[in-house]
Amino acid sequence: MSRIALIALLFASPALADEVNIYSHRQPELIQPLLDQFTADTGIDVNVAFVDKGMAERLKAEGDRSPADLVLTVDIGRLIELVDANVIQPVDDPVLKANIPPEYRDPANMWFGLTTRSRVVYASKDRVKPGEVTTYEDLANPKWKGRLCMRSGLADYNVALTAAYLLHHSPEETKTWLLALKANLAHKPQGVDRDQVKSIWSGECDIAIGNTYYIGQMLSDDADKEYAQSIRIDFPVFEGGGSHMNISGVAMTKAAPNKAAALKLMEWLSSDEAQKIYAETNHEFPVKAGVPRSALVQSWGTFAPDTLGLSDIAKARGAAVKLIEDVDFDG
């Protein structure tokens, strides 16, 4: 069985040839079913340290002594941060290239997307009619004044959304959009995406911005099901574009003491078997063509993904953060 640990420093023993050590920004419970199955299939043990913050800094400090073979993280910005910190290495592998479409992997083979998710609108089934929100630009409409809930504008997912908006619009238009969103908020940004669902359920607001897969997870949890059943997922698009996409991904560390075993895990995570587990367990969108989304996700309907390059979105993050801070979005 795979061993999931929450402690910050996990790998004190010498590296073994039949194990892989991971630093993960992803919650352990989200990836444990995958790693357990990988161990069952291959006999290779997997050790995981949950690193919520400072992953790049930690790997830099450890240098060649780092016990970590792989990093698992969410958001394109976090993957680019690892590239910029020079703590991961390229993996030129035909299996990964065959399984993962070019738009979801780094052109220089530094990182590989494993799942995608869309940043969508959660809408009250009772108070918002289908079709009332069709674009991200619509969220600035004054009709939503006092009816919108969001987590911090500086949260990774909202920074990526703002960066994408900036690539579709001018800086002035993006700043105006952010100011309008702030004016429409029911209260100051707070909580995480799950909390926005609960705020809609309680009547604090009528719409919110969040990632698709949280709704799947909440509907699968008896404690959260009632909240999730109160909302509908609407897939907005950018004017002239599609629905904003982001990824979870994997990269091999520069130190990687178990490189061969780590590559096997990377390949396995892109396989039909692993991609199906991602889809059924976490309700994320598989990146490998031909692997279906979960029945629940399919019930939300089809949508057109935006065609902006993820690397381009990552490059625009700095400018997006400046605009978010300029308007004091969280203030």
Task: Place domain 3-116+246-292 in its CATH homologous superfamily.
Answer: Periplasmic binding protein-like II (3.40.190.10)
CATH 3.40.190.10-classified regions of the chain: 3-116+246-292, 117-244+302-326
Predicted confidence at residue 28, as pLDDT, reads 76
Instruction: Tell me if the domain spanning 117-244+302-326 has CATH number 3.40.190.10.
Output: yes
pTM, two decimal places: 0.89
Predicted confidence at residue 29, as pLDDT, reads 78
Q: Where are the beta strands (DSSP E) in the chain?
A: 3-5, 19-24, 45-50, 70-74, 88-89, 112-124, 148-149, 207-211, 231-234, 245-253, 285-286
Mean pLDDT calculated for residue range 296-301:
93
Bridge partners, 282 (sequence order): none
Segment 140-189, tens digit of pLDDT? 999 999 999 999 999 999 999 999 999 999 999 999 999 999 999 999 99
Mean pLDDT calculated for residue range 62-69:
97
**Dihedral sign computed on CA atoms, order 186, 245, 304, 167:** positive
Distance (Å, whole) CA 217 – CA 196:
14
Segment 250-286, tens digit of pLDDT? 999 999 999 999 999 999 999 999 999 999 998 999 9
Mean pLDDT calculated for residue range 43-62:
94
Predicted confidence at residue 13, as pLDDT, reads 44
Mean pLDDT calculated for residue range 98-127:
96
Mean residue pLDDT of the chain comes to 93
Residue 6 scores a pLDDT above 60: no
Residues for the chain: how many in total? 331
Predicted confidence at residue 24, as pLDDT, reads 95
